[in-house]
Amino acid sequence: MVEKPRIRAVEAFPLEHNGQQLICLRDPGGTAPEPIMVGAGAYFLITRFDGAHDIAALQAAFARQFGEQVTAAQVRELITALDQGYFLESRRYAARVREIRAQFAASPERPAAHAGLCYADQPEKLRAEMDRFFIKAGCALESIKVRNGKPLAGLVAPHIDPPRGGLAYAHAYAELAAHERPELVIILGTSHYGAGPELFTATRKDYATPLGAVTTDREFVDRLARRYREGKLFGDELLHRNEHSIEFQALFLAHTIGVQNYQVVPVLVSSFHQMVLSGKSPALDRRVGDFLEALTALIAGERRRVAIIAGVDFAHIGRKFGDDFGVDSRKRKELHAADHRLIGHLEGGDAEGFFGEIAHERDRWRVCGVAPLYTQLALLKGHRGRLLNYDVAMEPATESAVSFASLAIE
């Protein structure tokens, strides 16, 4: 029995269930396989699961807050339920992580973690589902003709779930299909769960999709790991297991250009938040500077056509994300203006201007892609972007919004 429970870093958001307002706890990393819904009283206790409060202290805090008593048995029942579900830092959770690490290490492929959840897991149904995105975007794949000229240097594409971001994905990947196909695709994904010292995390594993596995260039990844001396490129490879930002790019690559005649380099990029707060350019951080230098040198030595894709979203605002306001038409207009200031820097290929814009406002819009976007801009210095699509996904139930865009980097 955990006597001083500590809750893990998991998501908590309100929802209505059978007419009752509840809080849903969900583990985006996937260690806890099922979400748990709790009421206001239980959630209050959980917010005090900091590893310092024992059962008696939790009872006392509850009584002060609500003027009512909660029994020790009720607190233990809540602790047990959370521990059974792998929501607590505990011996049970640690054993589960060891088991997951061993399973992931033994697999030659990174499984399609969100197949059957965010998109169909049956190939034919999935193809039809994705074709509808392209048709609705006015760029059906069978009608795309390859243009003469240089291949794309890169893409900015969303990582929001395909049902909401399908049109933006379609605009991005139709543009990729309309150019000479890349032979090496470096995918810079947003790492939502990386919390350690490592900023860049790669994997040697192929990315499985229901349409076939997208092959990782293991030899290139290993060369990058040897060159990158300021960090451990495989320091927390398990981050790839449930992260969707690269998975959705692999899915659209497989649908758009198949799974043959190119390879990928999947790299998750963790938060640059401390650099944003300090206002210092990420290039001045040795971990970032050394990674950029290492990858730039390898790309310069390539004879293959190389494209760099950033899997990113933009703003996250509203009550769901901790704001004390809902997103109305006025706030959406502000959001549109802020996003298009950033997009202007992407179109201009201006890494420092982009970062300066974020740092100036201390990332008030919670742009979920600062780190991979800065990295892509720095790697593609001298290239310019072209906006293909911009959209905002509204969530009326929580008065919240997520914005995203697709750009071609030429």
- Domain total in the chain: 2
The DSSP bridge pattern shows strands 154-157 and 263-269 to be: unpaired
Specify the pLDDT at position 160. Answer: 98
Specify the pLDDT at position 253. Answer: 98
Residue 196 and residue 304 in one domain: yes
The DSSP bridge pattern shows strands 316-318 and 206-207 to be: unpaired
Cα 400 to the center of its chain, rounded Å: 18
Specify the pLDDT at position 255. Answer: 98
- CA–CA dist 149, 179 (Å, integer): 8
Going through 80-125 in order, the beta strands assigned E by DSSP cover 109-110
DSSP for 155-209, written as a single string: EEE--S-HHHHHHHHHHHHHHHHTSPPPSEEEEEEE-SS--SS-SEEE--SEE--
pTM: 0.90
Specify the pLDDT at position 397. Answer: 85
- CA–CA dist 257, 249 (Å, integer): 12
Give the end of a domain, one of 37, 66, 101.
101
Residue 238 in domain: yes
Does residue 138 come out as left (phi exceeding 0), alpha (psi in the -120 to 50 range) or beta?
A: left
Tokens of 105: 């290490």
Place of tokens 């933009």: 314
Amino acid at position 232, single letter = K
Residue 93 and residue 116 in one domain: no
Residue 34 and residue 127 in one domain: no
110-152: per-residue pLDDT in tens?
999 999 999 999 999 999 999 999 999 999 999 998 887 789 9
Q: With helix as H, strand as E and coil as C, how does 24-50 read? A: EEECCCCCCCCCEEECHHHHHHHCCCE
Residue 5 in domain: no
Residue 263 and residue 172 in one domain: yes
Would you give per-residue pLDDT tens digits along the chain (410 residues)?
A: 788 999 998 988 888 777 788 999 999 888 999 999 999 999 999 999 999 999 999 999 999 999 999 999 999 999 999 999 999 999 999 999 999 999 999 999 999 999 999 999 999 999 999 999 999 999 999 999 888 778 999 999 999 999 999 999 999 999 999 999 999 999 999 999 887 789 999 999 999 999 999 999 999 999 999 999 999 999 989 999 999 999 999 999 999 999 999 999 999 999 999 999 999 999 999 999 999 999 999 999 999 999 999 999 999 999 988 899 999 999 999 999 999 999 999 999 999 999 999 999 999 999 999 999 999 999 999 999 999 999 999 999 889 999 999 999 99
Specify the pLDDT at position 398. Answer: 87
Residue 319 and residue 243 in one domain: yes
Q: Pick from 173, 350, 313, 304: which is nearest to 251 by CA?
A: 173
Residue 123 and residue 162 in one domain: yes
Residue 276 and residue 402 in one domain: yes
Residue 180 in domain: yes
- CA–CA dist 10, 187 (Å, integer): 26
Give the end of a domain, one of 42, 74, 101.
101
Give the end of a domain, one of 101, 117, 147.
101
- CA–CA dist 273, 250 (Å, integer): 27
Q: Where are the alpha helices (DSSP H) in 215-350?
A: 218-227, 244-257, 273-278, 286-300, 329-348
Residue 4 in domain: no
| DSSP category for residue 150 | P
Which residues constitute the domain of residue 70?
A: 11-101
